[in-house]
Structure 1
């Protein structure tokens, strides 16, 4: 996906809420750092991340929070029950501040989700 569309979306988020932009920008950096082969695209009003064609998470900005949604979040280890949602596969985290990224262990969830998607794409 073109960087231009992603930058436009991030600029739109920034124009509405500077804190949401800071959260989304940090989440994007973490998702892209999870693996050198991570791809990103604008879809469904957010930024979706995939590896080897398998989606693993997405970032969405809402009026009162930013959400990071995990495509197969129900399969991720979550001893503290941090992930919300009750669908068959998807789980998410609501973030209100940049500090929530660390306190809710988002980086570890991103890494786990990316590894799961990569394994799935490899048929492991």
Structure 2
């Protein structure tokens, strides 16, 4: 059932923005490549990822895609791409496929998973 709702959200994103659809799919592929067992669920208007613990989510907005890290404030941001200043969350704004790599998403996924695991 959850898979179908993820699929329908992805189809909705595609209708709104082909670019954002490509970015969301690239993020999903990277999460699945980085973590062997990953589950996805639709929540808060995006897709949340878990691998042992819930560690990030991807949300499509009009002008960008946001990859949100629930324990992002615990991440030592040596790359300088994280945004946000709340008590817990941090996010990456991604506006193109190139930014998935350029903003070091693969490294942030590992850092986010580690931060979420230490809660």
Using structure 1 for the length normalisation, give the TM-score: 0.88
2:97 corresponds to which residue? Answer: 98
Asked if the contact 1:74/1:91 (under 8 Å) is kept, the reply is yes
Q: Distance in 2 between matches of 1:56 and 1:27?
A: 13
Q: After TM superposition, give the deviation of residue 14 of structure 1 in Å.
A: 0.5
Which portions of structure 1, spanning 4 or more consecutive aligned residues, are displaced by more than 4 angstroms?
A: none
For structure 2, list consecutive stretches of 5 or more residues without a partner in the other structure.
Answer: none
Q: Distance in 2 between matches of 1:112 and 1:33?
A: 15
Q: Distance in 1 between matches of 2:40 and 2:63?
A: 24
Q: Distance in 2 between matches of 1:6 and 1:37?
A: 17
Alignment RMSD (CA, Å): 1.5
Residues 35-92 of structure 1 show CA distances to partners (whole Å, capped at 9, x for unaligned) of 222211000000001122x211000000111000011111112123210000111000
Q: Distance in 1 between matches of 2:79 and 2:109?
A: 16
For structure 1, list consecutive stretches of 5 or more residues without a partner in the other structure.
Answer: none
2:114 corresponds to which residue? Answer: 115
In the alignment, structure 1 residue 65 sits paired with structure 2 residue 64? yes
